[in-house]
Amino acid sequence: MQIHYTDSRAISVAQFVDLLRRSTLAERRPIEDEACMAAMLKHADILATAWDGERLVGVARSLTDFAYCCYLSELAVDAAYQRRGIGRALISLTEARLAPGTKVILLSAPGAVGYYPKIGFTAHPSAWVRSKIK
């Protein structure tokens, strides 16, 4: 398996949604709202991707100021490709775009809580989430 990593290749909404489904993140993302999914891709500051040939097998989508903090909003790896270092490589590609000392912040999917401490993340007890009131 030869995985190619890049942070300069655009992906379509269909490719993004398909990967989210194959990674299980689809159950926590608005995949039926195409406009929202398109905006998520359009406004990402960093989009690191992993490819097996022409098949998208991983994505790290981040919002950042490039100096102080970087919110890693999605780290999705096709379930058939997990445990091969793809997630770690996508995080490294993302971090390569950031200034030294920039904090990478994320919210873990319930099934991935045990993964992040293994790759150097520490839990933070005071994260807060609020949805905009309609």
Question: Quick check: is 21 in a domain?
Answer: yes
pLDDT in tens, 44-76: 999 999 999 999 999 999 999 999 999 999 999
pLDDT tens by residue, 95-116: 999 999 999 999 988 888 888 9
- 67-100: pLDDT as tens digits: 999 999 999 999 999 999 999 999 999 999 999 9
Return the SS3 of 87: helix
What is the number of structural domains in the chain? 1
Whether pTM exceeds 0.75: yes
Q: Cα(54)–Cα(133) distance, rounded to whole angstroms? A: 40
Distance CA 63, CA 66 (A): 9
CATH of the domain at 14: 3.40.630.30
**Domain-embedded: residue 102:** yes
In a domain, 33, yes or no: yes
